[in-house]
Amino acid sequence: MYQLPHYSHITSFSKVAILTSGGDSPGMNPAIRALVRTATSFGIEVIGIHRGYAGLLNEEFETLNSKSVSGLCHRGGTYLKSARCLEFHEPATRQRAFDILSKHGIEALIVIGGDGSLSGAHALYQEFSIPVIGLPGTIDNDIYGTDDSIGFDTAVTTAVEGIDKISDTAYSHDRHFLVEVMGRNYGLLACHVAIAAGAEMVIVPEHQSDITDISQQLAQRRKEGIGSSGIIVVAEAGKSGWSNQLSEEMRQLGEDPRVCVLGHLQRGGKPTAHDRLLAATLGNCAIHTLLEGKTDVMVGVTKGAVSTTPLEAVITQKKGLPVEVMDLINELQH
């Protein structure tokens, strides 16, 4: 269980809206459930906006209550659905969005998503002073201001389960596999997967990898009789499928690895107990944070405690890859 703040409510709301935006992540549904049930316990009406900011512009609204969100805890994806909305970058589009929120009497907006989605919430507050709260919902766990994000643990678990199966055939054929995982330009997902799956190596964007050196290491391990097969976890580094190019470069150096791109498989599936607990906690605390009078912040977790970070910092600061994670990986490779 996370350490919770002591809240002092100083304001009230009659109606708030919630939406999920960008790439979906397992655990968004438990977050929605927690938001709705906490809000209704304080007499707040909750409007669910389907399909993110695009749905806001199209007024795809649904009144949510405890009954409508029952049974969401174990479901993957997002009940509210999601979509990308490039036009939300335009000031005129955001003006239209605010006008729609005002027309429906919506007094605050809660957004679950990655840094791009939270940027939209921040812009609405900056331009129209509407209270907004963000929740980190991304399997990449690349958002500044929180140690964990909704969906990360499930994505790691899903990838490890897949690698466990790939490892069987890798061993049977004395072959190495390049297994590509998501993570955009942040390698934490790849690192956690590599550690949990017992991978031989991990390639992440934060550390330049020399293909010649990798091939030589594999050859040396075979020579020593400790690495005739194995898994190399590769972070997608902003370009899905780039491990195929990596494989071709390795073939030119005498290696013959196979490639498996896990892709969107990592976004699906029932959320783990860890992600359900995280989502429920953050959803509950988001409502308390609103009632405490705070706005334009993201509710996350830092060192085991629920914390808030200004959205300005969330969208402008870069989250660094923990040094201790790479140290652990390097030591486990010997």
Residue 141 CB neighbour total at 10 angstroms: 24
Task: Provide the b/e sequence for 73-106 (b: ≥16 CB within 10 Å).
Answer: bebbbbbbbbbebeebeeeebbeebbebbeeeeb
Selected catalytic residue, list 24, 140, 148, 296: 140
* Lateral strand order in the sheet of 176-181: 201-203, 230-235, 176-181, 258-261
Residue 113's closest CA among 232, 32, 210?
Answer: 32
Rounded to the nearest angstrom, the gap between the alpha carbon of residue 127 and the centroid of all alpha carbons in its chain is 27
Residue with tokens 């027309």: 103
- Strand, helix or coil at 73? coil
Strands 132-136 and 176-181 come out as unpaired
User: What residues contact residue 19 under an 8 Å CB cut-off, 6+ apart?
Assistant: 48, 49, 50, 52, 53, 55, 56, 80, 109, 110, 111, 112
What is the DSSP track for 118-134?
A: HHHHHHHHHHH---EEE
Cα(53)–Cα(239) distance, integer angstroms: 25
Q: CA 186 → CA 146, 191, 298, distances in Å? A: 14, 10, 20
- Strand, helix or coil at 137? strand
Active site residue 210: no
Tell me which residues are annotated as active site: 140
